[in-house]
Amino acid sequence: MNLQPKMFLYILFILSQIGTSLAATPATRYESNIIFFGFNDRSLATSSFVSTFNSLIRSKCNVNGLFTIIVHAEGENRDTPWVYAMIKKFLHYRGGCVFLMDYGYYAKSNSLVLHSHFDGIVEVLKRKMQQIGAYNRQLCFGSGFGARLCVAAGKAIGNSVIDRMELCDPSRTVFNNGFDPNPKPAAKNVACINTSSDLGTSTYNCHQNFRMGLCGRSQPAAGPPPLNSHGLCPYFYILAFNNNFVPNNVHKCTSTRLATMSSAVKMGYNARFNRTLVRGDVFIATAKHIPFIVKNGIIDNQMTAMMDYINRKI
């Protein structure tokens, strides 16, 4: 078949456009199914704006301020109870702009199906991090599967470029029963809060691993899902804004990488210890009742919790 030169070039052009379209389809599909809700320090989480990849960050956020990205866990979405409580805490204590990445469209799937979408979701999160910029003022909080997403996106940005990551019980399921071989390059400081070993990782290799409850494997307060040992993690983190989860190795847990202790060491965003000096495992026993703080070695703190409630200390 003989084709005229113009026709041949036209066919090549059409084929190239088809290839480009096919290559762009996955990213476009994931972006259309994932929503970023933004909050600034003026909204106090009472109102939000949808942050698209076409909108200017500076139109809603102070470009010289701080930026926080919250990534929920598997089986969750923007309506999960802890999510808006977390947004309010970050707005109050950190300020700036907070973005919630709602990938609930995919998170409702079972672990195997969700994992098959991992790379596509990571690409969208990475693009949002790039759109925000100001990497030295970015913090990514991820819970469960969301912790995995934060790490992968951070590493895709570059080695220790993002300022800080706070990771709640990174998911174990479908990830070879362990955490990323080396999550540390995802940010200048990667802190992990470990609360379970059935749904959460049993590999402890973040800059700091706050191993809660029974050596990070289970929690005395655990009940049925969603408040099992894995699901309690973000609630612990929220409570840590106003309560001190300090080292307390009641269960005599052991580790080959015990962190150097100081009076400033505690779990949570408000901790002011020197993160370049405190590296390794920090064991923090937890109690059965809210606010889950162990005092005087008492795990079953029902009476103390009741009195705190009566006295409005919680």
Task: For 215-238, write each residue's pLDDT tens digit.
Answer: 999 999 999 999 999 999 999 999
H helices present in 96-232, as ranges = 104-107, 111-116, 118-132, 145-157
Separation between Cα atoms, residue 23 and residue 25, nearest integer Å: 6
Sign of the four-CA dihedral 98, 125, 271, 213: positive
What Rg, from alpha-carbon coordinates, does the chain have?
22
Reported as a pLDDT band with limits 50, 70 and 90, residue 15 is very low
pLDDT of residue 58: 78
Give strand ranges (E) for 63-109: 67-71, 97-102
Give me the pLDDT at residue 14, please.
33
Reported as a single tens digit per residue, the pLDDT across 42-64 is 766 667 888 888 877 877 898 89
Residue 10's pLDDT band, with cuts at 50, 70 and 90, is: very low
Distance CA 31, CA 23 (A): 14
Label residue 27 by pLDDT band (50, 70, 90).
low
CA 80 from chain center: how many Å? 14
pLDDT band (50, 70, 90) for residue 262: confident
Q: What angle do CA 178, 180, 181 make, to 5 degrees?
A: 95
Instruction: Give residue-wise pLDDT tens across range 131-146.
Output: 999 999 999 999 999 9
- The pLDDT value given to residue 2: 52
Within 10 angstroms of residue 51's Cβ, the number of other Cβ atoms is 24
Q: Compute the average pLDDT of residues 80-102.
A: 95
Q: How far apart are CA 310 and CA 54, in angstroms?
A: 50
CB 234 within 8 A of CB 143: yes
Asked if CATH classification 3.40.190.10 holds for the domain at 34-310, the reply, yes or no, is no
Note if the bond before 291 is cis, omega within 30 degrees: yes
Q: Is 174 left (phi over 0), alpha (psi -120 to 50) or beta?
A: left
Residue type, 252: K
